[in-house]
Amino acid sequence: MQPLPVVVIAGLVLAFALIERRTARGPITGPLVFTGAGLLLAGRAADALPPVPEEALHVLAEGTLALILFADATRIDLGALRRELGLPARLLLIGMPLTVLAGWGVGALLLPGWDAWSLLVLAAILTPTDAALGQAVVSADGVPQRIRQALNVESGLNDGIAVPLVTLATAMAAAGAGLSAGHAHQDSWLAFVAAQLGLGPLVGIIVGGGGGWLLTRARAAGWSSEPSQRLGGLALPALAWAGAGLVGGNGFIAAFVGGLVLGASARDICEPVHAFLESEGELLMLLVFLAMGVTLGWTALGLHGWAPWIYALASLTVIRMLPVALSLIGAGLRPGAVGFVAWFGPRGLATVVFAIQLREVDLPHGDAITGIALLTVLGSVLAHGVSAGPAARFYGARTGDMAGDHPEMREVTAHRLRRPRPGP
């Protein structure tokens, strides 16, 4: 890499670091700054920030998502989650499947001629949410803890839950496109799906359980210091992700399952992963948004026709909001709280990674799916980034006098999924 792009990237990171606290409650978020910078520099300052080679972008995005999946999974207190299923269970077990179904239905209306599996791929990759795009919401003290926690847990878990569905839908869409090659082609894709969904969790269990046991034993025996424990902890998500790839499993599923197993069996080993995500992990995520803006952003914004734009708008509104509202029926929340939870389902890193992956698969509508997905992410970066702070303050101000036994104010165990942004 030439020196000038390094200076530009490092300068951008430094500039944001200097003002991050001042913008913590405002409309300026990290993803918004870095995506916007990428869009502004794309094609206009090719020497300062050239497009990222697609292979490098793929590796950066996949590795970052694997790390975040692993780290978020380790932070989930499964015991507490079982005791307090409540809102997260509604969002994940009812709202998420309904969102996929709604995305499929809207796609069938707006994109006639698409096959059912391609529509399912589009709906599935746009279902996971990303709390980083609305961090002011999940860290705002004025917003009831139960509401923040529901959004935080949903964001932390739905990425991993979506991976098997995205894998299955993509494989079936690709198999359907190649049916003319005969049953052998279809059988090969079915075998691929079985390996992805079967071997991925197995590798995750081995890495999470075995790695946690080894690190715990080494520390108890006095063989490893705290810095070496940190290094060992950071090696686990990489082992799960890459190890699954070696045996034909899905690396994201392996990373997610590995994090769950490590968090349940050796929580004290998880701190190195958490500490990494607080700084270097966030930096990797911001670099993904920068690379997306400079490499793929204008391609998405240049989509022709009205259908992609309407679908992207629908994905951020009715496709997300109606299923969430249905999932919260009977939860005792006021309409304002339901609307607040339904709106804050920003699309971010997971959708970007899934969209980039599709560029390596021969799907009938692969380019269109990638374009619509990235267009939706760009809209989410702007809409949710700008609205997070004001909406959190507006909603929080209306809960200050609510009784402690109200369903919105009920106390819950905190699952620290992402770094909270400091207040001004």
Give 323-351 pLDDT, tens digit per residue: 999 999 998 898 989 999 999 989 988 89
Q: C-alpha distances in angstroms, 241 versus 48, 197, 203, 237, 346? A: 33, 13, 9, 6, 25
pLDDT at residue 170 is higher than 50: yes
Mean of the per-residue pLDDT values of the chain: 83
Residue 136 lies in a domain: yes
Residue 419 lies in a domain: no
pLDDT on residue 181: 38
Residue 422 lies in a domain: no
Lowest mean pLDDT among 19-28, 162-171, 221-230, 360-369: 19-28
Residue 424 lies in a domain: no
Q: Residue 87 in contact with residue 328, Cβ under 8 Å?
A: yes
User: What does the pLDDT look like over 267-297, one tens digit per residue?
Assistant: 777 776 777 666 677 888 889 999 888 888 8
Residue 26 lies in a domain: yes
Residue 417 lies in a domain: no
- The mean pLDDT value for 253-262 works out to 89
Q: Please give the share of the chain, as a percent, with pLDDT higher than 70.
A: 85
Q: DSSP characters for 223-269?
A: -S-HHHHHHHHHHHHHHHHHHHHHHT--HHHHHHHHHHHHHHH-GGG
Q: Residue 284 in contact with residue 60, Cβ under 8 Å?
A: yes
The full 3-state SS of 86-146, as one line of letters, equals HHHHHHHHHHHHHHHHHHHHHHHHHCCCCCHHHHHHHHHHCCCCCHHHHHHHHCCCCCCHH
pLDDT on residue 420: 46
Nearest to 63 by CA among 218, 261, 291: 291
* Domain assignment of residue 146, given as a range: 3-409
Residue 416 lies in a domain: no
User: What does the pLDDT look like over 293-302, one tens digit per residue?
Assistant: 888 888 888 8
CATH number at residue 190: 1.20.1530.20
Q: Residue 236 in contact with residue 258, Cβ under 8 Å?
A: yes
Lowest mean pLDDT among 49-53, 209-213, 258-262: 49-53
Lowest mean pLDDT among 25-39, 304-318, 378-392: 25-39
- The mean pLDDT value for 146-173 works out to 85
If one compares 363 and 258, the residue with the highest pLDDT of the two is: 258
- Counted domains in the chain: 1
User: What does the pLDDT look like over 32-69, one tens digit per residue?
Assistant: 889 988 888 886 666 667 777 878 888 888 888 888 88
Residue 423 lies in a domain: no
pLDDT on residue 422: 43
pLDDT on residue 92: 92
pLDDT on residue 180: 39
